[in-house]
Structure 1
Amino acid sequence: MELPAKAWEDLLRLSEHITERNTLLNETHCPVEMTLRFFIAIGFVVATIVGSGGARQAIAAERPTQAQVSESLTCQCGCGLTVANCNMPTCSFAAPIRAEIDQMIGSGMSGAQIVAFYRHKFGEKVLSAPTAEGFNLLAWTMPFLAIVIGGGLIVLAFGRWRSAAGESAPATPAGIAIGFDPALRRRLEDDLKENS
């Protein structure tokens, strides 16, 4: 599953718009802009990960080995291992499945076709890793999305707190320097010398 070219164009256009706006306004440290950049960067990472599905399909089209296919299936004898790693000598599931996988590979079936066959025969429980589609995809991505959204909200909150702290500082009249009075400083130093 590749990301449509339209989505890439939209992400690139949004990134260019933010860059142009920052250049025009010279606001490179605006918390809102930094948060938007953060989300755009995360969008590019997610798009790259989702777009790499085509590479996985190309690899899957090669002739599989029995070890590769049996690694994708969970043994149903109760050991909790994959069919490739089940070490029970009298396993009533792994041994026949390995032989069937060898026959299927010999007949020209791809690894994806073999896994799909066993998925149809035994259901989702036979897969050693959940599929990246439907609810499973949502279940895999939600924790990461929650972390990204939470991080963005924290960055935004710190930016607002920082700007609110700068606005609440007392304003000094123009022309008055902030500092100590020299006479007061000498008096303080003299008092410290006397008391020590």
Structure 2
Amino acid sequence: MFEFAARMSCRTSLLRGVRPLLGLFTPSSAAPVGRFRRFVGAGMVCLLAVVMLGATPDSRFEKMGHEMICTCGCGQVLLECNHVGCPVSPVMISELHSGIDAGGTDTSIFNWFETKYGATVLAAPIRGGFDNVAWIAPMAVFLLATIGTGFLVKMWSARSAQRRAVSAAGPVLGGDAVRERIRRETEY
């Protein structure tokens, strides 16, 4: 009997420690909020992992190297310059490495290259200031040309409809008198 009492006391003390934990797994009104927080947390971890996947210095070097043009006159992307013995691309590549290793931002490195080699070193203009015109102007010209073409087509169709209305009205009255007047005015 003593063993039975000892077993019961162990079981009851065991249940006393487990009962509060059982409340975590039972459905309640607060359960959807907890699930939502877990899903949000998991989503944030996944988003952070995806964002940080490409954050290596090598990927930054590749990205920036493909946004610049070699200034040797070949017109190729800096990292794609395939001239044998090109005197310019190895120097530019080492300068790009040193700029990245020094901790410069992309914009500051691009600005440094632009001041040293000129604006032709950039494959695409940097956004900001007057360079925004290079991004906005082609889209604005395309939009205005599309609107102008639509307006021109509408104007032509209105003229065509007006001509059809006049020709549907019938022959011009006094046609013989007009012809006689034209004949007299064109005689020598």
What is the TM-score when the length of structure 1 is the normalising length?
0.45
Structure with more contact order per residue of length (Cα contacts < 8 Å, sep ≥ 6): 1
What is the TM-score when the length of structure 2 is the normalising length?
0.47
Q: Which has the higher helix share?
A: 2
